[in-house]
């Protein structure tokens, strides 16, 4: 294996290349200007290549130095990122949630969190992908499923899965609520990737005479389509509770459907030693009860 260049020289070169000035680089590194210049000279001697033109008021890259700096700077940035995953910043908590959970529950509730805990830097990773606590550096996750989720993860119930049918007031005459079985059968259905309508209709012995309906990739999009009067959506009650209270949506039938896909707050065992993570967990659990 080829020997690495002197690491002090690489560091001095990386900082000097950003500042294009040995004095400014010395201030950033907390050493003398002479030490920085000497580290860079040692690196140039090791490489047998001049990296900087020394000018009266600073530095300029040589063509070789400019190309080399791009790669050296990228390597140091990769080290910073890797170290950040290994050594989390105090007060920073990264939470993995689905886009639907983020849009329909978490984001509307975030002002409460920010008001109560301004000292915590809460970061949201909204993705349909199942994030890795280790690989993605997440601290908490909200996942829909059935425990256990893994020997190294603790799980606390946030919401039971209670699926209800909702539509915009423009689609339903409130005087006819709850809608009849025949009326629900004929209403256009909004489908998402969970595809709950067949199970819901079969459970309540209701035929589907509403046509193909609109098919969307996320529950949040189905809810948005319902808000615009494009059909009836099936969704967990807690995700649309605020819309129902504000009368933007109406529960069209008292019929519901329960399931095993409840919503849980997951944390790694190390979370017990982190005050910020414990604070975020307590807020999630308290907010879910309101």
- How many residues in the chain? 290
CB 222 within 8 A of CB 233: yes
Domain positions in the chain are 7-86, 92-159+261-289, 162-258
If one counts every other C-beta atom within 10 angstroms of the C-beta of residue 265, the result is 21
pLDDT at 219: 94
**Does residue 74 carry a pLDDT above 50?**
yes
Q: First and final CA of the chain: distance in angstroms?
A: 61
Comparing 119-123, 132-136, 151-155, 241-245, which segment has the lowest mean pLDDT?
A: 132-136
CB 161 within 8 A of CB 236: yes
Task: Give the full edge-to-edge strand order of the sheet including 262-268.
Answer: 121-126, 92-97, 140-145, 262-268, 153-159
Residue among 169, 103, 101 at smallest CA distance from 141: 101
92-159+261-289 classified as CATH 3.40.190.10? yes
pLDDT at 50: 96
Top CATH class of 7-86 equals mainly alpha
CATH for 162-258, among 3.30.70.2700, 3.30.450.40, 3.10.290.10, 3.40.190.10? 3.40.190.10
| Fold match flag (92-159+261-289 vs 162-258) | yes
Q: Look up the pTM and report it.
A: 0.68
pLDDT at 1: 47
Three-class secondary structure of residue 189 per DSSP: strand
């Amino acid at each position: 294996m080829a020997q690495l260049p002197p690491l002090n020289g690489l560091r001095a070169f990386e900082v000097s290349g950003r500042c294009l000035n040995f004095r400014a680089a010395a201030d950033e590194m907390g050493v003398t200007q002479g030490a920085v210049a000497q580290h860079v000279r040692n690196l140039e001697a090791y490489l047998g290549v001049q990296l900087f033109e020394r000018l009266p008021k600073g530095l300029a890259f040589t063509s070789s130095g400019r190309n080399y700096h791009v790669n050296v700077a990228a390597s140091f940035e990769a080290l910073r990122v890797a170290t950040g995953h290994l050594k989390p910043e105090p007060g920073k908590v990264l939470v993995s949630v689905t886009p639907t959970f983020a849009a329909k529950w978490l984001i509307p509730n975030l002002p409460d969190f920010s008001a109560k805990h301004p000292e915590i830097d809460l970061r949201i990773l909204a993705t349909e992908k199942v994030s890795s606590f280790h690989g993605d550096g997440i601290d908490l996750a909200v996942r829909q499923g059935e425990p256990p989720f893994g020997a190294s993860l603790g799980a606390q119930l946030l919401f039971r899965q209670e699926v209800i049918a909702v539509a915009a007031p423009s689609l339903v005459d409130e005087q006819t609520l709850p809608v009849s079985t025949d009326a629900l059968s004929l209403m256009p259905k909004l489908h998402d990737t969970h595809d709950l309508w067949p199970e819901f209709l079969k459970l309540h012995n209701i035929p589907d005479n509403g046509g193909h309906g609109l098919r969307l990739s996320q529950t949040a999009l189905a809810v948005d389509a319902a808000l615009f009067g494009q059909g009836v959506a099936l969704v967990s009650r807690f995700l649309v509770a605020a819309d129902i209270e504000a009368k933007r949506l109406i529960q069209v039938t008292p019929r519901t459907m329960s399931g095993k896909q409840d919503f849980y707050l997951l944390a790694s065992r190390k979370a017990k030693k982190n005050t910020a993570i414990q604070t975020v967990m307590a807020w999630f659990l308290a907010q879910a009860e309101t």
